[in-house]
Structure 1
């Protein structure tokens, strides 16, 4: 069972340690990529891939399945995904403001799924859409960390 930390304690953790997370790089059968427009810091207002943190005592496989369900409403297991490798994300702000930075170590996983956009959760993103890779790479509204999944021959 995953447990969220109390706000003040989580601020201390983010201020002093990197977070480990999983990003879900979702392509539909036409090859387009699912992005959501972020509501929260860091990367607020940018188009970004779905994903989230791995919790303490949670295996990567359990975290992947939980995040696929929470972020996409899908029952997916880790063995159905392709690992793209580790990435590092550095932000000048944090979930609570601008008084310290955020550092993520991110495990990127690619899956293929045709998802109806109108049923996706609204907690982290308020808009969703499918992007062609060339379009997301050219857009100033797509966050740099999302673009890295598609640059230099990745994906």
Structure 2
């Protein structure tokens, strides 16, 4: 269920939003990022994703968001949980007089297929595949997106060390 502007503004001002962030990698080890058109994180490269709606289960939200954000529907069983992350912003979708807090559930989706029809919408003005080292140093990649790759590399490193 999507809310009208006044109700949604009240929700954002009053409580965290719960979202799924799609940490998508390809067979070349690159990560997919979208260029954000809206607040928060406007004009930054950011992982695809979106809010979980009221009365929508996590698996259903994952299907909806992968179809909307990637142009192809995937199931949550195809993903791996990276974990929950707090995202705090000094603005919100309608301006800068309210702050935003997301609890983002990061799910890693490692793809062998190509995503040829990435949808451009009101959230993204374009998509790009980034090499991880480039992503981690690029000033136009949002810090919240960089966290996912730091954590993934940390777990990979720990696993190799054991």
TM-score, normalisation: structure 1: 0.94
Aligned to 1:126: 125
Residue correspondence of structure 1 range 40-55 to structure 2 within 5 A: 40-55=38-53
| Matched-pair contact (CA < 8 Å) for 1:72–1:121 | no
| Matched-pair contact (CA < 8 Å) for 1:28–1:115 | no
SS of the residue corresponding to residue 88 of structure 1 reads strand
| Deviation of 1:75 (Å) | 1.6
| Deviation of 1:150 (Å) | 1.1
| Deviation of 1:129 (Å) | 0.5
SS of the residue corresponding to residue 67 of structure 2 reads helix
| Matched-pair contact (CA < 8 Å) for 2:63–2:75 | yes
Encode CA deviations 1:111-137: one digit per residue, 9 max, x unaligned.
123212x54232211011000000000
Aligned to 2:31: 33
Give, in whole Å, the separation in 1 of the partners of 2:6 and 2:26.
39
Give, in whole Å, the separation in 1 of the partners of 2:126 and 2:72.
18
The answer on 1:10 being equivalent to 2:14 is no
Cα RMSD of the aligned pairs, angstroms, is 1.2
Q: Which has the larger displacement, 9-18 or 105-114?
A: 105-114
Give, in whole Å, the separation in 1 of the partners of 2:137 and 2:86.
21
Aligned to 1:115: 115
| Matched-pair contact (CA < 8 Å) for 1:70–1:121 | no
Residue correspondence of structure 1 range 93-112 to structure 2 within 5 A: 93-112=91-110
Give, in whole Å, the separation in 2 of the partners of 1:119 and 1:49.
13
| Deviation of 1:29 (Å) | 0.8
Structure 1's consecutive aligned runs of 4 or more residues displaced over 3 angstroms after TM superposition are none
Give, in whole Å, the separation in 1 of the partners of 2:69 and 2:132.
21
Query: How many pairs does the alignment contain?
Result: 152
Unaligned 5+ segments in structure 2 are 157-162
Encode CA deviations 1:46-91: one digit per residue, 9 max, x unaligned.
0000000000110000001100011111120111100101000000
Aligned to 2:159: none
SS of the residue corresponding to residue 120 of structure 1 reads coil
